[in-house]
């Protein structure tokens, strides 16, 4: 029988473990303040007004309120910027330099109007993006194209125009707005490429799951553009109302380096093998309770290598 002999190497490497802990620590401030004043206070004394998204967030949020002997009610860092609108041009949103809003528009009636249309008078109006309307596309050859054979939502309109033409129509100047008005006179109020962002967190975190109370947001007071927690559910409020408020800080990111000793053949110098070792190590750490958001990486030596041979002092 022929034996395959290989040299067994005793090697040492280092693994860098970075704890990616994005959890927040919450602080209830029992001073009455408007949303803007609360935001300024939190930015000056903590990190920001509270961002509360996950079940774990809400649990710690409620614990903080209970520790202060009050319900989990007060300003949080969620707000609705209803005055910053964009026009879609070549597939991207561009800031509006000239607007043609109808008097009293945009009004965000019902608390969910984030898309825009043009009427027969050439005025812009805000609507719920899920409303169905005729629409106007832009075609590189035909110019503005009116489509009234189907009534589409804003999202469907965007898909149709970008699939069958070039883009949804966006009036970038008064001349173009007048052209779109002529088409709207023929087919009625029509979607154009007018939109805005909806609810945002003060710390720029992208909203995921928002725990709105039943029936909210509703913009019942016509300018309810700030959010408060109300017994652990979110409601929209007038920003100049005064409530207690919650600030947050993020837990500090921690990095730890582990020394790893390996016995193996020369294959451990193969990047694919090193990647497989790191993957197995990560799985083991996860099995022992390490967060799955934790980053695990090899620590590269000054000479570019990951492993080095053990010296006699290491034996």
Instruction: Locate the domains of the chain by residue range.
Output: 24-140, 144-248, 260-314
CA distance 222 to 224: 6
**Residues 6+ away with beta carbon under 8 Å from 198:** 80, 112, 114, 207
236: cis peptide before it, omega within 30°?
A: no
pLDDT, tens digit only, all 315 positions of the chain:
333 333 444 555 555 555 555 678 999 999 999 999 999 999 999 999 999 998 989 999 999 999 999 899 999 999 998 889 999 999 899 988 789 999 999 999 989 899 999 999 999 999 999 999 999 999 999 999 999 999 999 999 999 999 999 999 999 999 999 999 999 999 999 999 999 989 999 999 889 889 999 999 999 998 899 999 998 999 999 999 999 999 999 876 566 666 666 666 666 667 777 677 777 777 776 676 665 556 667 666 666 666 666 554 554
Give the closest residue to 135 by CA, choosing from 149, 123, 122.
Answer: 149
What fold, for 24-140?
Answer: Mannose-Binding Protein A; Chain A (3.10.100)
| Answer CATH for 144-248 from 3.30.830.10, 3.30.565.10, 3.10.100.10, 3.40.50.300 | 3.10.100.10
pTM of the model: 0.67
- Under DSSP, is residue 31 helix (H, G, I), strand (E, B) or coil? strand
The reply to whether 144-248 shares the fold of 24-140 is yes
Asked whether 85 and 96 are in contact (CB, 8 A), the reply is yes
18 exposure class (CB count in 10 Å sphere: 0-12, 13-18, 19+): middle
């Amino acid at each position: 029988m022929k034996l395959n002999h290989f040299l067994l190497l005793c090697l040492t490497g280092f693994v860098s473990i970075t704890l990616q802990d994005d959890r927040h620590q919450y602080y209830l401030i029992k001073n009455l303040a408007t949303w803007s004043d609360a935001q300024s206070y939190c930015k000056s004394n903590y990190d920001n007004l509270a961002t509360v998204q996950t079940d774990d967030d809400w649990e710690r949020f409620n614990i903080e309120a209970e520790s202060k002997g009050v319900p989990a009610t007060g300003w949080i860092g969620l707000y609705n910027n209803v005055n910053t609108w964009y026009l879609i041009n070549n597939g991207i949103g561009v800031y509006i330099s000239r607007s043609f809003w109808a008097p009293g528009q945009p009004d965000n009636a019902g608390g969910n109007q984030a898309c825009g249309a043009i009427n027969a008078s050439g005025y812009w109006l805000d609507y719920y993006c899920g409303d169905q309307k005729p629409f106007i596309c832009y075609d590189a050859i035909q110019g503005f194209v009116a489509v009234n054979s189907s009534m589409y939502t804003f999202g469907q309109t965007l898909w149709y125009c970008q699939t069958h033409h070039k883009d949804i129509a966006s009036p970038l100047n008064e001349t173009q707005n007048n052209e779109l008005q002529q088409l709207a006179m023929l087919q009625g109020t029509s979607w154009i490429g007018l939109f805005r962002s909806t609810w945002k967190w003060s710390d720029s975190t992208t909203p995921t799951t928002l725990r709105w109370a039943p029936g909210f947001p509703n913009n019942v007071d016509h300018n309810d553009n700030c959010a408060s927690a109300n017994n652990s559910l979110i409601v929209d409020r007038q920003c100049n109302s005064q409530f207690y408020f919650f600030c947050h800080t993020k837990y500090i990111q921690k990095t730890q380096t582990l020394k790893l000793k390996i016995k193996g053949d020369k294959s451990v110098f193969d990047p694919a093998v090193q990647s497989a070792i790191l993957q197995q190590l990560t799985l083991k750490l996860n099995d022992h309770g390490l967060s799955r958001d934790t980053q695990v990486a090899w620590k590269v030596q000054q000479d570019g290598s990951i492993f080095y041979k053990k010296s006699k002092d290491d034996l």
